[in-house]
Amino acid sequence: MRKFIKGAAIFLMLTGVLVLSFSNIVLAGGIVLNDLESNPVNLSSLAGRPAILFFWTTWCPYCRTELRTLNKMYPQMEKEGLAVFAVNVGEAGYKVERFLKNYAINMRVLLDIKGQAAKNYEIGGVPTYIFLDKSGNVVLLEHRLPADYKSLLSE
């Protein structure tokens, strides 16, 4: 009986380690962010469609450059069937809205006020792009929009 209990304990411990190790592979599920109109967006609803999540802040000059680049590319990306979101990290909605008055942003802006999505995706800084495949798996984390983004998401 002791061998069984010891074996079961080891099995449960290893299973827990494996679950924890692989739990970060698909991170879109369970994350709900509000857009600027306070409409909730469940990132797991993106399944079946490749997506780009762009994490940024209003105070970051590199973010502003990447935001302009992404905004120029957005109409083409939308035609290609990509879901594209600009995810502001750690700032209140009113501050983001005030900032966006100077930028004609075509894509949907989401608010990660508490930084939970950034934490879940292990964002080390901004700007950061997260590329998700059709299953919601993270394909790439990058600080600049790669020229070959289509090939990354078509695999």
CB 138 within 8 A of CB 132: yes
Q: Is the pTM of this model over 0.85?
A: no
Residue with tokens 């939308």: 78
Number of domains in the chain: 1
pLDDT tens digit string along 125-153? 999 999 999 988 999 999 999 998 888 77
Tell me the C-alpha distance between 3 and 79, whole Å.
60
Say if 108 falls within a structural domain.
yes
DSSP string, 69-121: HHHHHHHHHHHTT-EEEEEEES--HHHHHHHHTTS---SEEEEETT-HHHHHT
Any domain includes 18 = no
Residue 98 structural domain: 27-154
pLDDT in tens, 40-52: 999 888 878 999 9
Does 75 fall in a domain? yes
